C-alpha cells in the first residue's frame, strides 16, 4: 500500500499516524499566530484591485497595455511586504499602479480587445526554480506567457506554454505574436462569448506554477446584453464583489536553510520530501515494491514537488480578510486561484463567543449559484440550506472508496462560481464565516494540510501546532462577513425571483435562454477518445502525473508498462475545426484532477465507476449507472473535475474564432493551430500532466 493510500485511510478515521521529524521537510510554515479578520477585503477600485482603463480611440477594438513587473505587496498587517510579480495597467502612461491582482479587464461581448503585454520581469525569480523542468534550463527566470483562461482566441494569442518571451527578446519555440518591441507580445481577444468570468495568468513552461503563485494572475470579465438586462431588471444585484481565493505560506524568517526571501515573503517548497513512509510526503520510485531500476539522475535542489498546499487563506490578496455587507443581496464572482487546493464552500454564522470561528450548527443564508466558468447556468441552483459538509465513499468494495461523496459549493483549482447571497434577513451586527472543509490533496487527504482551530498538534510531523481561535494557520475559515444596516431603499422584489426559482424549481426562470446549452448529444460525435490520467515516476524517481491515451507506450521507472505521455511526446489529440468529439477521461490516479481544455467549452455528460485494477487499455469495464452532472455543472464547462476510479465523459465541439485577420499556423505543427489541455493543479501541469491539442483549420 502506498503512503498516500494510508493517508486516505487516516482521513477516514481508519488509522492513526506517527511521524519522525529527523528526515527534514520540504514545507515550512507561516509565522505562528497571525490574527484573522483584521483587514478589509480589497474590492475593485483604485485603493483595492485596480480595473484596467482601455484606450477606445480605435473603434475596432479596446486597447490595453499591461506591464509584467516585480514589486512588493503586503498580504497581512503583521507581516512585512512580500516580493511578488504581477500585472499593472500602463495603457495611458505614467507610473504603473502595481497592486496584487491588478489590471482587471472588463470587456463586452463581440467588442474585441487587444492587449500589449510588456515583460519587465527581473532575471531573479523570488521563488526557487527547478532547472530540470523543460524550458527552465534556459536560465531565463523572466520568461512569461500570458494565457487568457477560458478565452475563445486564436492560438497565437492563447498564451501557450511554449509561447514564452523574456525582456531581452528571447522566445519559446511557439512564440508567434510579437509586439512593437522585443520585450512585448500583442494578444487579440475577439470576445465571441456570453457573459462570464475568465482570468489571465502566466503559462510559461517551467515557470507557470511559480509565476502564478508569485502573483501573475488577474480577472477578465465579459459582459453581454443579457447580463445587463438581468441587472437592470433587478433579477441580479448590481452589488458585485470578486472573491479570488488562494492559499499561501509566508516565510517566517527563522529558517536559515530557506535562502529564497525574508520574513513576509512567499514560501514555496523546493525539496522533494521522499519516502520511506511515514517520514515523507511523496512516493519515491526506488522505495516502492517492486523497486525501480537504478536512477540515472541525481535529485536536483531546488526541485519540482508533486503539489503545494498552503497554511494561510488569502482572498483578493489579503490573508483572512473581512468584508462589510448591508442587509441586501450581493453578487460574488468566485475563482479558485489556488495551486492545488480544492474548496468546499459553506456559509455559517460566527460563533457568538468566538466571532472569528464558524458555528457549524447555525447555517447562514442560502447561496444561489447562477453561473460557472462557462457563463450562466440553465437554472439557478440553491446551496447551503443546509450546508453540506464533506463526506466520503466508505464502501471498500467500490473503486471510488475514499472519494468525496457529498459537498456544498465545490471548486477545484481554476473553477469559478457566480453566486448571489441575500443578507436582508441577517441581524445588524451579526458576523458570518465563509468556511471550507475540503481535504488536500483532494480527495486523498494529508492531515498536515488541514489547518483549523483546535486541530491536533502535528508540529513533530511537519505540520502545525494546534491553531488557536482567532489566529492562523487556518484554511477552513476564509472570510468574515460583517452585516450593517441597509442604506436607502429596500431591494426590489424582483431580486427574490432567482432564489424562488432555485428552491421551488417551478415558475419564472430568470436565466432561461441566457446561455443555451450545446445542442448536441453523444450520438453526434464523429470520434470518441479514451484518455487516461496516470501516476508515474521520472528519471529522478519523483512522483509525476501525466496524461495519456488508452494504449500503453513504454516502461515507466519501475519497469512496468505505462499509458503516460509527456508534454513533448508526439501529439495524440488532433481534431479538426467543426468536429464534435466525445472525450472519456479514465482516472487511474488517487487524485481528483481539474482538467482544463484551451479554446473550447465542453458539455459534461456523466461520471461512472470502473474497475481500475483490471484496466489494460481500450474501453474500461464500467460499474453501476452513470451519474449525471451536478446541477451547477450543467451548461458549459471548461474546467472539469475528474475523480479517482471514475470515467468522466464530456462532449466538445472544436470551433475556431472569427478573426479580422488570417492567423499564422504553428511553427511546431505546420498548417495547424496549437493549443493544450492539462490538469489545472499547477504542479501537475508542469510535471508533466499537459498535452498538445492540435486543431486543423
Task: Give the C-alpha separation, 346 to 390, whole Å.
Answer: 10
Q: And the C-alpha cell for 345?
A: 464552500
3-state helix, strand and coil shares in percent for the chain, rounded to the nearest 5: 10, 35, 55
- Residue 189 host element (H or E): strand 184-189
Cis peptide upstream of residue 463 (ω within 30 degrees of 0): no
Is the bond preceding residue 193 a cis peptide, omega within 30 degrees?
no
Q: What is the pLDDT of residue 278?
A: 52
Residue 557 confidence (pLDDT): 66
Domain boundaries, the chain: 62-224, 522-695
d(CA 149, CA 439): 25
* Per-residue confidence (pLDDT) for residue 274, from 0 to 100: 83
CATH number for domain 62-224, candidates 3.40.190.290, 2.60.40.420, 3.30.2270.10, 2.40.40.20: 2.60.40.420
- The 3-class secondary structure across 526-553, one letter per residue, is CEEEEEEEEEEECCCCEEEEEEEECCCC
Query: Count of CB atoms within 10 A of residue 399's CB?
Result: 22
Q: Where are the beta strands (DSSP E) in 488-645?
A: 527-537, 543-549, 554-555, 561-562, 564-565, 580-587, 593-597, 602-609, 639-642
Measure the CA angle with vertex 572, ends 570 and 573; round to 5°. Answer: 135
3-state secondary structure of 642: strand
**pLDDT value at residue 548:** 97
In the CATH scheme, what is the code of domain 522-695?
Answer: 2.60.40.420
- The burial of 644, by beta-carbon neighbours within 10 Å (0-12 exposed, 13-18 middle, 19 or more buried), is given as buried
Amino acid 287: pLDDT: 78
Q: Which three cell numbers stand for residue 123?
A: 532575471
C-alpha closest to that of 579 among 525, 647, 622, 517 = 525
Low-confidence ranges of the chain (pLDDT < 50): 1-25
Q: Indicate if 522-695 has the same CATH topology as 62-224.
A: yes
- Other CB atoms within a 10 A radius of the CB of residue 489 amount to 6
What single string gives the DSSP state of each residue in 451-477? --TT----GGGTS---PPTTBSSBSSE
pLDDT on residue 7: 39
Q: Give CA angle at 57 (54, 63), nearest 5°.
A: 35
Amino acid at each position: 500500500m502506498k503512503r498516500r493510500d494510508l493517508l486516505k485511510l487516516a482521513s477516514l478515521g481508519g488509522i492513526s499516524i506517527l511521524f519522525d521529524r529527523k528526515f527534514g521537510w520540504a514545507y515550512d510554515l507561516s509565522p505562528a499566530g497571525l490574527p484573522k479578520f483584521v483587514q478589509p477585503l480589497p474590492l475593485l477600485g483604485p485603493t483595492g484591485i485596480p480595473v484596467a482603463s482601455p484606450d477606445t480611440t480605435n473603434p475596432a477594438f479596446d486597447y490595453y497595455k499591461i506591464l509584467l513587473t516585480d514589486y512588493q505587496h503586503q498580504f497581512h498587517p503583521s507581516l512585512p511586504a512580500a516580493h511578488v510579480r504581477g500585472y499593472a495597467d500602463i495603457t495611458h502612461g505614467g507610473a504603473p499602479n502595481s497592486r496584487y491582482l491588478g489590471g482587471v479587464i472588463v470587456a463586452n461581448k463581440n467588442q474585441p480587445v487587444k492587449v500589449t503585454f510588456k515583460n519587465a520581469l527581473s532575471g531573479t525569480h523570488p521563488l526557487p526554480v527547478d532547472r530540470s523542468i523543460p524550458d527552465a534550463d534556459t536560465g531565463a527566470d523572466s520568461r512569461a506567457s500570458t494565457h487568457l483562461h477560458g478565452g475563445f482566441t486564436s492560438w497565437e494569442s492563447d498564451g501557450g506554454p511554449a509561447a514564452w518571451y523574456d525582456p531581452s527578446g528571447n522566445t519559446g519555440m511557439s512564440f508567434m505574436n510579437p509586439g512593437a518591441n522585443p520585450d512585448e507580445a500583442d494578444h487579440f481577444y475577439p470576445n465571441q462569448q456570453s457573459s462570464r468570468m475568465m482570468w489571465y495568468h502566466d503559462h510559461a513552461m517551467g515557470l507557470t506554477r511559480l509565476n502564478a503563485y508569485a502573483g501573475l494572475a488577474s480577472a477578465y470579465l465579459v459582459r453581454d446584453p443579457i447580463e445587463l438586462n438581468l441587472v437592470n431588471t433587478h433579477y441580479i444585484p448590481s452589488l458585485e464583489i470578486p472573491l479570488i481565493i488562494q492559499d499561501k505560506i509566508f516565510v517566517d524568517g527563522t529558517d536559515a536553510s530557506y535562502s529564497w526571501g525574508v520574513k513576509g515573503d512567499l514560501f514555496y517548497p523546493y525539496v522533494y520530501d521522499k519516502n520511506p513512509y511515514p517520514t515523507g510526503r511523496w512516493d519515491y520510485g526506488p522505495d516502492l515494491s517492486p523497486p525501480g531500476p537504478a536512477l540515472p539522475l541525481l535529485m536536483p535542489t531546488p526541485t519540482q514537488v508533486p503539489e503545494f498546499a498552503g497554511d494561510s487563506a488569502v482572498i483578493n490578496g489579503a490573508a483572512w480578510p473581512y468584508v462589510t455587507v448591508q442587509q441586501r443581496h450581493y453578487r460574488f464572482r468566485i475563482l479558485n486561484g489556488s495551486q492545488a487546493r480544492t474548496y468546499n464552500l459553506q456559509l455559517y454564522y460566527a460563533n457568538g463567543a468566538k466571532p472569528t470561528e464558524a458555528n457549524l450548527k447555525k447555517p447562514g443564508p442560502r447561496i444561489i449559484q447562477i453561473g460557472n466558468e462557462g457563463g450562466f447556468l440553465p437554472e439557478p441552483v440553491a446551496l447551503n440550506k443546509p450546508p453540506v459538509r464533506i463526506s466520503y465513499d466508505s464502501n471498500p468494495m467500490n473503486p471510488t472508496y475514499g472519494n468525496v461523496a457529498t459537498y456544498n459549493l465545490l471548486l477545484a483549482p481554476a473553477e469559478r462560481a457566480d453566486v448571489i447571497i441575500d443578507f436582508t434577513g441577517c441581524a445588524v451586527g451579526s458576523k458570518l464565516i465563509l468556511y471550507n472543509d475540503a481535504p488536500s490533496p483532494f480527495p486523498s487527504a494529508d492531515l498536515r494540510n488541514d489547518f483549523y482551530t483546535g486541530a491536533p498538534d502535528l508540529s513533530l510531523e511537519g505540520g502545525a501546532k494546534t491553531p488557536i481561535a482567532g489566529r492562523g494557520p487556518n484554511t477552513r475559515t476564509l472570510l468574515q462577513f460583517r452585516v450593517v444596516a441597509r442604506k436607502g431603499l429596500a431591494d426590489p422584489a424582483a431580486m427574490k425571483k432567482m432564489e424562488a426559482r432555485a428552491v421551488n424549481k417551478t415558475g419564472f426562470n430568470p436565466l432561461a435562454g441566457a446561455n443555451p446549452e450545446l445542442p448536441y448529444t453523444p450520438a453526434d460525435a464523429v470520434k470518441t477518445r479514451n484518455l487516461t490520467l496516470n501516476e508515474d515516476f521520472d528519471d529522478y524517481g519523483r512522483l509525476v502525473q501525466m496524461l495519456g491515451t488508452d494504449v500503453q507506450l513504454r516502461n515507466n521507472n519501475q519497469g512496468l508498462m505505462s499509458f503516460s505521455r509527456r508534454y513533448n511526446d508526439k501529439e495524440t489529440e488532433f481534431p479538426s475545426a467543426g468536429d464534435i468529439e466525445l472525450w472519456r477521461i479514465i482516472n487511474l490516479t488517487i487524485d481528483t484532477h481539474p482538467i482544463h481544455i484551451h479554446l473550447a467549452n465542453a458539455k459534461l455528460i456523466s461520471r461512472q465507476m470502473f474497475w481500475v485494477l483490471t484496466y489494460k487499455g481500450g474501453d474500461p469495464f464500467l460499474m453501476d449507472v452513470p451519474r449525471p452532472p451536478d446541477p451547477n455543472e450543467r451548461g458549459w464547462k471548461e474546467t472539469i473535475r475528474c475523480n479517482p476510479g471514475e470515467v468522466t465523459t464530456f462532449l466538445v465541439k472544436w470551433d475556431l474564432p472569427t478573426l479580422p485577420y488570417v492567423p499564422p499556423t504553428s511553427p511546431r505543427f505546420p498548417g495547424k493551430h496549437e493549443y493544450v489541455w492539462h490538469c489545472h493543479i499547477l504542479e501537475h501541469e508542469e510535471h508533466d500532466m499537459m498535452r498538445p491539442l492540435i486543431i486543423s483549420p
